[in-house]
Structure formats: C-alpha cells, structure tokens
Amino acid sequence: QALRPKPRVGRQADSRIPASHSFCAPILAMGVHRRQAVAPLLLAWIVFLSQRDGASAQKLPGHSIPTPPDLYSLVADWFLAGTVIPTQQAMILNPGVPNRMGIMWSSYPLLTDSFEVTMTFRGKRPTKRNVKDEGFAFWYVYENGTQAHHNISFEHAQKQEEIIADTWKNAFTEGGMDLFGYRSQYNGLGVFFVDEESPSVCAIPNDGQKTFKLGQGIPTYDAVKYDFLNGEFTVKIIIKPDNAKIEVGGQTIDVKAAFKPGGYIGFTSFGGVKAAPDAEEKAGFLELLSLTTVNNDLSTKGEEAHTTQAPPPPVPADEKIDVLADASTFKDHRAESDAIKELTNMVFKLVVETQPMRQQMSRAIESLGKRIEVMEGNFAELKAELDKKTGHKLGAEFDAIKKELTSLSSVASEATEERHSRLESLHADIADVHKSAHSPDNIDKHLDKLTQSNTKVLDQLTNEHQKMFGVSIAAIAFIIIAGLSLYNKFRCWEKKHVL
C-alpha cells in the first residue's frame, strides 16, 4: 500500500470520457491491476537489498575500539603515544593542555579498499580562547604510522627535558611532521578538524608529493563549518576504491580519489600554541568514545587474523600490591593526603547530611520565636485589659505580694538563726555550770535559773510560732481571695464576650 501510487486529478477526468471512447477503459484497468501486482514485488526487493547491505558489512575488531576501551586489545592492535590516554570511559586524545601532541595508530594494515569507519567524539572548549593552530586529524595512509612515530615520540615528544624546555617540536619539524604531528607530505587521506575562530572540517587526499600545512591549503575553501569542541558528535568515513565520503554534523564531504588496500588508520592531535605569553594554560579537551570499522567488501579479507593476549585471572583484593605507591618517595605524603581526603569526605558528608536537619531546626526555632512574641503580646494585652477593668495594677500588687512573702521567709530564717544561737549559748552556759559547780545547792540554783530561762525561751518560741502561723494563714487567705476575685472577673468577662 505504501508503494501504491496515489490517484491523480487527471484520472478523475477519465470517468467523463465519451461512450465512443469507452474502449480505453479496459486498458486503464489493466494498468491499474499491473501496478497493484508490481507493488509487493518492489517492496520485497527493497527488503532484500536492505538485508543484503546489512549482511555485507563485516566488523573488523582489530581496527575498532569499544566503549569502554579494552586495554589488552589496545596493546595488541594500537600504538599510543603522547597525550593519548585510555580511561575507564574513553580514549583521551587531547587533555586540554597546549603544546602537547597525541598520537594513535593501528598496528596492522587494512586489507580492503572498501570500508567504513564510525567514530564518536566528545569535545569541550575552555570559556576563553587561549591557543591557536589547535586541532586533530584522522589519517588513512599507506605508511606504517607506528614505525614513523615510534622513535621520534619516545625520544622527543615524551622526553621530560624537551617538554620543559619546549624544544620537542624541533625534531618533528625537521622530520617533516609539522601537520598536527604527522607528515605534511602524506600519502593517503587526511580528515582535518581545525579549531579556529570558525571551526571547520575538511578532507584532502594526497599522493605524497604535495605539501599541506595549516594556513597553506588547510582548511580548504569548501571546508564544512562545524564546532567539534562543543559536546558529543559522530563522524562517519566511507572509503571506496574510487571515492570517499565524510559525514559530520549532518553535512557531507565528497572526495574524488583512488584508494587502495594496505593502509593504516590513525589519529594525531595537537593542543595548539598559546596565543599570548600570559595566556592561560588551557586548550580544548577531546576524547574518543568509540570507533567501529567494518569491511564492505566480503570478497576480500578486511584485516590480518591474530590472537590477542587473554587477560590474566583477577587478583583477590587482599593480594593486590600497588608497586608504584610502595616504591614512591612520596609514600608518607600520599598516606597523609589520603587521610586528609578521607577526613574531608567525612566532613563533607556530615555537612551535607545534617544540612536539611539544621535548616529544619532553624525554621522550627524561628517559628517558636514568632509564637513566643505573639504570646508575649497577648499577655501584655491581657494585662492591660485586666488593669483597665479592675482599675488598679494587678501586676504591681502581685510584685508586692511576692516581696512580702520573700520578706517573711527572710524574717523566719533570721528568727531560726537567732534561736540556734541562743541554744548554742545555753549549751555553753550548761557546760560552764558543770565546770564551776562545787556543791548540790549551787547546782540546784543553776538548774532553777536554767529552767526559768528555758521556760522563757519556750514561751518566746511559742509566741513566735503562733505569730508566724497567723501571718502565713493571713497570706494564704489573701492569695485565695485574690485568686477567687480574678476567677470571678474572668467569668464575668467570658459572659460579656470580652475574651
């Protein structure tokens, strides 16, 4: 039904053909039925072609990199140098540092001249442009890139003294490798990603005779404008014997040239040079997330068959030994740093976990403070209303009652202390009497005196006790009467809807 042609407006005019021309009707009907019969055949043919195209693509694992990268496959199938670093997520081509170069080559050649390479990158540029001549390139060349870069990369690009002195590029320039770290007179295809004011992508074939450099033929006049340092993007490169096609950012670059088997694929990247001496040491960050290479010609073998070293069995956690950490001269500093880091993580975790609780407590305290302020205001209004209704200040009266009760307690404590002092003096007198007594008569006299003084003391104590009891009863009665009067006032106000 999808392939069935829609009726055109002109067909409606056929129904108005005169009867003298009715002989055309069977022919028209025959054409319609023939198209209806051909439609299923066309659909089946399209499905067959799509299945055939899908079956004709043979993945080449020796020229592919999965996500995450397999370290053992990288060691067996690829040459890495410079800033190219495998991580647990991707392959870092440029870590965002100027004046640094990354090199990556396949160790074995492609044996086909009809293949397809699909690559996924992720790029991020700094907030301010600090470098120039920055970018990277994809290569399909007939020179063994591993042999070309092995000695020069280890002797210069990765030599600490030359990196510090910034002289490692001299050997590359003298060797003709001044195009993103590879030869400016290359033999094959180069796809160049140039980061400038208007980032672009271009593809240039070369036979090893012409020289291409940044600003001298690169980028080309018809380069595709695409910002490749702005997130994740996919590049597809299709190589055929007589042409090549590059797809990036929804745009296509067509290359007319002859390509032959036996070439090597690879990448080179350059972090650029600082635009100014005082510019910040930051360049674009670029990583390769995945790379898939397929052979589109099943009549030829895509790559050499070789075995990859099997990974060793996993080592138990208690048997693992960090040789570098144990032999490092900064072992003690590293241990201190780990302890500080662990403590920092614990403090951060504690702060993060207690933050909601502290916020909740702060809100609760603020709410309680507001309620207390409202309650104090209500009490102040109630006090003013009571003073207004009674005609006198109840607060001042209660303060006076409290002061009087306080004075009573102080008087009672003073009287108690005085009694204790008198008892102590009495005991002292008794002791003196016992010491100075010489005859029974003297003892009787002293005892009579002592009895009389004791009787006086008891009478005085009784009187004071009765007085204090009366005062306490009077105070309690006053408090009860005042409380009843307040209760009566509240009941009266409640009836009058004052409260």
Residue 153 is predicted with a pLDDT of 92
Q: Which residue shows structure tokens 């070439």? A: 263
141-171 pLDDT, tens digit each: 999 999 999 999 999 998 889 988 989 999 9
Confidence of residue 44 (pLDDT cuts 50, 70, 90): low
Q: Does residue 463 have a pLDDT over 80?
A: yes
**Contact criterion met (CB below 8 Å) for 190 and 139:** yes
In this prediction, residue 213 carries a pLDDT of 93
- For residue 476, the tally of other CB atoms under 10 A from its CB is 10
pLDDT at 21 over 50: no
Q: What is the mean pLDDT of the chain?
A: 83
In 3D, which of 316, 386, 295 has the Cα closest to residue 112?
Answer: 295
pLDDT class of 442 with cuts at 50, 70, 90 = low
Q: To 10 degrees, the CA torsion angle through 240, 245, 246, 252? A: -170
Would you state the structure tokens that stand for residue 297, as one six-digit string?
Answer: 């010609």
Q: How many percent of the chain have pLDDT more than 90?
A: 43
Separation between Cα atoms, residue 387 and residue 235, nearest integer Å: 89
Confidence of residue 48 (pLDDT cuts 50, 70, 90): very low
Q: Residue 207: is its pLDDT beyond 90?
A: yes
| pLDDT value of residue 45 | 56
Tokens found for residue 95: 């870590």
User: pLDDT tens across 257-267, in order?
Assistant: 999 999 999 99
What whole-number distance in Å separates Cα of residue 49 and Cα of residue 72? 37
Does residue 295 carry a pLDDT above 90? yes
Q: Measured between alpha carbons, how far is 193 from 404 in angstroms, rounded to an integer?
A: 97
pLDDT for res 497: 56
* pLDDT for the residue 42: 56
Instruction: Supply the pLDDT for residue 319.
Output: 77
The answer to whether the beta carbons of residues 195 and 134 sit under 8 Å apart is yes
Residue 138 has pLDDT above 90, yes or no: yes
